[in-house]
Amino acid sequence: MKQNASKAGGPNKLTKGLKNWNTFLVIVLVLEFVIFGAANERFLRIPLLLLSVNDFISICIISLFVTFVMITGGIDIQAGSIVGLTSIVIGVTWQDFGLPIWAAVALAVAVAALCGALSGFFIAYCRVQAMVITLGGSFLYSGIALLVSTLSSTESYQGISGFPDSFKFITSFKLFDLIPMQLVIFAVLVVIAYLLLHVSKYGRQVFLVGVNQDAAEFSGINSKLVILSTYVLSGISAAIAGIVLTSYLGTAKSDLGDTLTMNIITACVLGGTLSTGGKGSVIGTALASIIIGIMRFGMPLCFDVNTQYLDIPIGILLIVVVVGRAMVNKPRTAAILAGLKNKFTGAKA
Amino acid sequence: MADTTTSAGSEKLLSVRNVYKAFGLNTVLKGISLDLDRGEVLALIGGNGAGKSTLMKIIMGIYTPDKGEILVNGKGMAAGKTSEALASGVYMVPQEPLLFPNMSVEENIIIGFQRPRAELHKELVETMENIGWHIALDRKASSLSIAEQQLVEILRGLMRKAKVLILDEPTSALTFKEVESLFRCVEDLKANGIGIIYITHRLNEVFQIATTVAIMRDGVITLSGDVGEFNHNALVKGLLPTGAEQETKETSIPVDYGKEPVLELQNFSGYGFTDVSLKLYPGEILGLAGVVGAGRTEMATTIFGMDKVLGGKVLLNGKDITGMKTRDVIKAGLNYVPEDRHANGLFKISDVAANTTSAVLKGPKLGKFLLNKKTEREMTQKYVDDFRIKVTGQDQLTGSLSGGNQQKIVIGRSLCTDPKVVILDEPTRGIDAAARGDVYKIIHKLREEGVSILLISSDMEEIMELSDRAMTIYQGRVNCEFSKEDINQDNLTSAAFGLTKKEVGA
Amino acid sequence: MTAIKRLLKVRELSSLLFLIALFVIVSIINPSFASSENISACFNSSVVYMLVAVGMGFAVIVGEIDVSVGSNLGFVATVVGSMLRDGENWLLAFAVGILIGAAIGLFNGWGVSIMGVPSLIFTLGTNGILRGAMYVYSGGAWVENLPKAFKDFSSVNLVGDLTVYCCGCIILVAVIHLLLTKTRRGRYFTAVGDNPNGAVLVGISAVWTKVAAYIICGVMSALAGIIFCSRIGFITSTSGNGYEMKAVAACVLGGISLSGGVGSVVGAAIGSVIMSSISYLLVFMGFSSNYDNAITGIILIVIVVTDSLMQYRQSVRNRHERLSARTAGTVEGGASK
């Protein structure tokens, strides 16, 4: 079960920390704009900036709801594979099975929710570690996506394209001729997630289950159902990301979203979600995911960093945040840290 | 403070000098000093939360003391180093044995040694021969009973040539026979010059095996000396909070036993308890006394829908609630304040308000879909005021509160659901005397408001102080019932220990 | 009699039986499979997985996980491959590879065990850093043109159709297994995973045992990376992707409990043979390799769910038995009946 003792350390600092944390994130975001803007004035061109949203909108959308999962003390590393599954289901059912495009979309969302529910069921009701199940899930759902793609007459590496305009509209429409629809969708999802997590009774249950599942059961909360529901939510959010991505790219492929996992987890953790559960915020995650997105956009543009190198700063960011948090809780280890640090800086280079 | 042992002799086997320890705001040890000689059996007694286990963990080097030192044979030990404690011959048999469940008995005993396996095996067999205990060495530890696990732990200590052996409530899960053989073993060890700290809260055991005794209360040693200097009553006095010389019980409204019972158990059976029948009347406090492990908590959690019912019925206001899910039991009007508030009661990194209202999230009280924060505030404030819970605000995290305030919040949580019956399981475990008084006041007040209370406790004084009627549970069965006049320490204690005749006490 | 019973309880044995059953079933469906060549091929192709899985086994046995093994493998392969391509001394290249692996392990061990960060999250970060570092090091290009002798060494058979690597690997696993079960310190890993608090009580340092487990895990992954170079002959920027997943699956298949404390490296090795054989066997059963991932996922999920349910049942049963024993202890009986 969960170790509550480890969470008790300096709890008061934590809440205050979380409020300050969002301020901190805003500062980081502003800094990003200042630094990238100074390095390359093209960065600040609004249309270009808004266009860049497409490259990281999936991270933003999914991490919002993976935050729910992580607050219950779980983790979700299957969301990426559900993105691909959604995409290919839309493509195949529309092109090869002749479903109307919106029916195909609805079906894809249902499939994604079902995938989330299946993993959630095993995690909540069979008490398997979330990590292992979603690991298996990532295999299974990407495998199914691959199999679905073989049902199509189109070769899977090409991807299914030629979607109707009504479907492309999702990403081609611009509000006030400026703001892309994806951002609007993201904003709506932020509001929904915020209401669910921070204003509704459901959100309170999510938190309580994450803090202490046993105590939640003693309070009459159906903790298993709550846990399951968070995986359904993250599955649906992955489906939405898959729809947006498919619409934007104009092609349905089974391997979309393969590389999202670490970015999503980083966004959640950077956003202030406690990796052991019980704490987290929608605003924090939203801010953190935008920070990551801007970083992914700005670094190649302004500092000529190869896109493929971006895993390094994201990985470092993740580790710095989690280790930093751990250090706040364990001041005693700071001394050991100092000693070991020297060794590492030598070994890692 | 009232510590009579002089810490002059530096050649004592074990000396604890002026040890302080606090967890957060909760100071658990406030200057403890004690000494142990070779061949001495020091009985350390104290209620739950007195700080005994913390002190032992400090001696073992599992915790680092905030202040003070530990000497073995006059040599100071580095604080917080288990390996050093082990090397100097200190070994603790913890209350809940910490074996490796997936290893064999033999591996469990010889792990951590730096000598050849064959040699250890031979020695182990000899040791077992010496004390006359036999246990299959190739059994997996997970298949052992608690008593057998304790045996394995003691063997571990003996194999380590322990000079100081700490036994932390070793008899709490043992049968009578097992206790006897344990005592024989302790006698042997004593004769071999091993110093033993024997932690217990069973007073009669003290007179059976201890040579010296020390009483701990609220983090200080209140009383210590040779066993011969004390009798049963003197020890009880040491355990009682100072000045708690039995306040005159306010005569409250008598219970009307003519009414229909609110809660009725009919031959109720489950895992850990069998065939329990009882009736709880409106506005009554029914004390259910029993030692740890007697099946009290299991009974309560089974009523509360946490475990499988094996037989019998639970009626709440005549309505059958047997085997219902927890949330339905709460809805029907029964709530339970768990024994282990850290594991099952508190949401430590959540605030006071979220803790207080956690049990009403299911009903319509706090709004349909959205959380009505205003109602939540009011509801929380009511309990904060009524129970005099010391908080800096409703947004304070409960993990940073003292034990007493935490307990009040957990009680408040269960009352939020407007229960007709509340089961309080060890409501004052691990909280200080002042908070205890507050909790008692809350319980009395509830009774006046017509809430019926089933009070589970291993603290006989608590039962005496509060109950209108009392029952005792022993090895899973209710074995005695006492009306208000008959409730006294002797009756309760002897019944709770399964002795039907009065023979405990002086 | 008891010997047989005890043997049946050995978790590794059921994995081995599963593997044999798999071979038998495939042979029945497609008799052309049943040749020493094919079965050896299953073992030969599992060498890299086996090393990674054994390393992962250490992390899992102490109750943690390491999802950076795949990129560790990839990074070491990139570095060692480039060095060999550039004509560096082989031994030097190998030594550098192993050292990198150990350093990565130490880094993970520091984060997880000393700093107390949840292992999945920390190693996920390490994974990202290494994955990026691979691109930086190779410039995104393939590492090719490794010395021919080095590549050819991978197809030298030692015993029957089994390659040198395969035999070496089996010996290595056997040696590690003996070290783990027969030495004092070897048992520490299982002990720490089994009950960390209990370990502390008998003077075993849970913290350093976990650090050691991570270092071993890193070294094994590095070793796998070197053999990867030799067997495959070229390294792309995605080499090693997904190995972490298959390694976890192999551990679970081999009977290592993910809650720690149960299992052995032999189990991990057997599990890895099962995992790596699946795609090979699918071909013989007439499925396309497209089924690979889905079937891997299903096997993984089914096994962990069954394992978890069985363990849960067992723990509930133990608790109930213990509680019942207490009430049964009332020999003289209470007041009732």
Q: Is the pLDDT of residue C103 over 90?
A: yes
Interface contact B102-C327, CB threshold 8 A = no
Residue A58 has pLDDT above 50, yes or no: yes
Tell me the C-alpha distance between A277 and C201, whole Å.
Answer: 29
pLDDT at residue A64 is higher than 90: yes
Chain C residue numbers with beta carbons less than 8 Å from the beta carbon of B100 are: 190-191, 194-195, 198-199, 261
B231: amino acid identity, one letter: N
pLDDT of residue C312: 86
Model confidence pLDDT, tens digit, residues B268-308: 998 888 889 999 998 899 999 887 777 888 899 999 998 88
pLDDT greater than 70 at residue B207: yes
Contact A112, A236 (CB under 8 A): yes
β-partners of residue A175 are: A179
pLDDT at residue A344 greater than cutoff 70: no
Closest residue on chain B to C256 (Cα): B102
Closest by Cα among A31, A117, A130, A21 to A77: A130
pLDDT of residue A19: 62
In this prediction, what percent of chain C has a pLDDT beyond 90? 30
Percent of chain B beyond pLDDT 90?
9
In sequence order, which residues have a C-beta less than 8 Å from that of residue A286 and are 6 or more positions away? A60, A64, A186, A190, A271
Who contacts A257 (Cβ-Cβ below 8 Å, separation ≥6)?
A58, A79, A80, A81, A82, A83, A84, A87, A238, A241, A242, A245
Which one is predicted more confidently, B362 or A63?
A63
Please tell me the predicted confidence (pLDDT) of residue A8.
37
Give CA–CA dist A98/A103, Å, rounded: 10
**CA-closest candidate to residue A320, choices A337, A343, A302:** A337
Closest of B328, B187, B234, B184 to residue B45, by C-alpha: B234
C76: its two tokens: 């070491």
Identify the pLDDT of residue B453. 92
More confidently predicted of C126 and B340: C126
Residues B115 and C2: their CA atoms lie apart, in Å, by: 30
**One domain for residues B270 and B234:** no
Question: In the structure, what pLDDT confidence band is assigned to residue B495 with cuts at 50, 70 and 90?
Answer: confident
- The set of residues, in sequence order, having a beta carbon less than 8 Å from that of C334 and lying 6+ positions away, is B275, B474, B475, B477, B478, B479
Stretch among A300-314, B455-469, C23-37, C101-115 having the lowest mean pLDDT: A300-314
Give A-chain residues touching C297 at CB under 8 angstroms. Answer: 136-141, 143
Q: How many residues does chain C have?
A: 337
Asked whether residue B159 is assigned to any structural domain, the reply reads yes
Is there a contact between C294 and C282 (Cβ–Cβ < 8 Å)? no
Q: Residue A14 belongs to what domain range?
A: 5-348
How large is the average pLDDT for residues A99-122? 93
Residue B170 backbone dihedrals phi, psi, to 5 degrees: -70, -20
Give residue for tokens 């002797």: B490
- A147 CB within 8 Å of a chain C CB: yes
d(CA B365, CA B374): 11
Higher pLDDT, C93 or B140: C93
pLDDT of residue B221: 86
A46, two tokens: 């609004």
What integer best gives the mean pLDDT of chain C? 85
B16-60 confidence digits (pLDDT tens): 888 888 876 667 888 888 888 888 899 988 766 678 878 888 888
> Would you say residue B168 lies in a domain?
yes
Report pLDDT digits (tens) over B221-234. Answer: 888 888 888 877 77
- Gap between the Cα atoms of C62 and C193, Å rounded: 4
Q: Give the phi and the psi of residue A289 in degrees, each rounded to 5.
A: -65, -35
- Looking at residue B493, its amino acid is T
pLDDT band at C238 (very low <50, low <70, confident <90, very high): confident
**Whether A129 and C259 lie within 8 Å, measured CB to CB:** yes
Residue bearing tokens 């020297």: A342
Residue spans per domain, chain C: 36-314
Q: Taking 80 as the threshold, does the pLDDT of residue B417 lie above it?
A: yes
Q: Can you give the pLDDT at residue A116?
A: 95
Mean pLDDT for B473-478 is 84
Average pLDDT estimate for A230-238: 95
How many other CB atoms are found less than 10 A from the CB of residue B260?
A: 11
Nearest CA to A227 among A111, A134, A122, A137? A122
pLDDT at C3 over 70: no
Inform me whether the pLDDT recorded for C320 exceeds 60.
Answer: yes
Note the pLDDT tens digit of each residue in A116-162.
999 999 999 998 888 889 988 988 998 999 888 888 777 766 778 77
B275 and B135 in a single domain? The answer is no
The residue among B239, B274, B308 that closes a domain is B239
Query: For chain C, where are the alpha helices, taking DSSP H only?
Result: 2-9, 11-29, 36-44, 47-61, 69-85, 90-109, 119-138, 148-152, 164-182, 186-194, 196-201, 206-232, 243-253, 265-284, 292-328
Q: Which of A127-131, A163-167, B165-169, C247-251 has the lowest mean pLDDT?
A: A163-167
Looking at the predicted structure, is the pLDDT value of residue A4 above 50?
Answer: no
Domain of residue B489: give its range.
263-496
Residues C292-302: what's their mean pLDDT? 85
Say whether B369 and A219 touch across the interface (CB within 8 A). Answer: no
pLDDT at A61 over 60: yes
What does the block give as tokens for C129? 């850093």
Amino acid C184: pLDDT: 78
- Residue-wise pLDDT for B65-101, tens only, equals 888 888 888 888 777 777 788 888 888 887 777 788 8
Query: Beta-carbon neighbour count of residue C112 at 10 Å?
Result: 28
Task: Identify which of B173, B138, B304 has the alpha carbon closest to the alpha carbon of residue C322.
Answer: B173
pLDDT tens figures, B343-382: 888 898 888 888 988 888 887 888 888 888 888 888 899 8
- Report residue B329 as tokens: 């039991």
Instruction: Say if residue B341 is in the same domain as residue B198.
Output: no
Residues of A in contact with C136 (CB under 8 A): 309, 312
Mean pLDDT computed over C150-172: 84
Q: pLDDT at position A137, please?
A: 92
B243: confidence class by pLDDT, cuts 50, 70, 90:
very low
User: Within an 8 Å CB–CB cutoff, is residue B463 touching chain A?
Assistant: no
CATH number at residue B383: 3.40.50.300
For A136-203, give the DSSP string: HHHHHHHHHHHHHHHTSSS-TTT-EE---HHHHHHHH-EETTTEEHHHHHHHHHHHHHHIIIIIBHHH
Q: What pLDDT score does A6 carry?
A: 36
As a whole number, the mean pLDDT across chain A is 83
Range of lowest pLDDT (A270-274, B145-149, B368-372): B145-149
Residues B223 and B274 in one domain: no
Band the pLDDT of A183: cuts 50, 70, 90: confident
The answer to whether A221 contacts chain B (CB < 8 Å) is: yes
When pLDDT is cut at 50, 70 and 90, the band that residue C330 belongs to is very low
Among the ranges given (B197-206, C40-49, C87-96, C111-120), the one the predictor scored with the smallest mean pLDDT? B197-206
Higher pLDDT, A335 or B26: B26
Residues of B in contact with A203 (CB under 8 A): 371
Residues A197-226 have a mean pLDDT of: 92
Which residues on adjacent β-strands are paired with residue A251? A161
- pLDDT score recorded for residue A179: 80
Question: Can you tell me whether residue C298 is helix, strand or coil?
Answer: helix
State whether C330 and B480 contact (CB < 8 Å): no
CATH of the domain at A23: 1.10.3470
* pLDDT class of A5 with cuts at 50, 70, 90: very low
Contact B479 C195 (CB under 8 A): no
- Nearest-CB residue to B358 (from A200, A208, A279): A208
How many domains does chain A divide into? 1
Q: How confident is the model at residue C73 (pLDDT cuts 50, 70, 90)?
A: very high
Give the H or E element holding residue A5.
helix A5-8
Mean pLDDT within A219-236:
94
Query: Mean pLDDT across the stretch C105-113?
Result: 94
> What gap in Å lies between CA B446 and CA B438, rounded to an integer?
12
Tell me the C-alpha distance between C164 and C150, whole Å: 12
| C287, pLDDT greater than 70 | yes
In a domain, B490, yes or no: yes
What confidence category does residue A349 fall into, taking pLDDT thresholds of 50, 70 and 90? Answer: very low
What pLDDT, on a 0 to 100 scale, did the predictor assign at position A106?
94
What global pTM score does this model have? 0.82
pLDDT class of B1 with cuts at 50, 70, 90: very low
Contact A322 C117 (CB under 8 A): yes
Q: Is residue B253 part of a domain?
A: no
Interchain pair B327, A199: CB under 8 A: no
Binned at pLDDT 50, 70 and 90, residue A235 comes out as very high
Instruction: Give C313 to chain B, closest Cα distance, Å.
Output: 13
Q: Give the total number of structural domains in chain B.
A: 2
Cα–Cα dist A289/A60, whole Å:
5
Domain boundary residue, one of B224, B239, B254: B239
B294 in the same domain as B234: no
How far, in Å, CA of C29 to CA of B218, rounded? 74
Give the pLDDT band (50/70/90) at residue B478. confident
Q: Looking at the predicted structure, is the pLDDT value of residue B152 above 50?
A: yes
SS3 for B248-303, per residue?
Answer: CCCCCCCCCCCCCCCEEEEEEEECCEEEEEEEECCCCEEEEECCCCCCHHHHHHHH
**The CATH classification of domain C36-314, taken from the options 3.40.50, 3.90.105, 1.10.3470, 3.40.630:** 1.10.3470
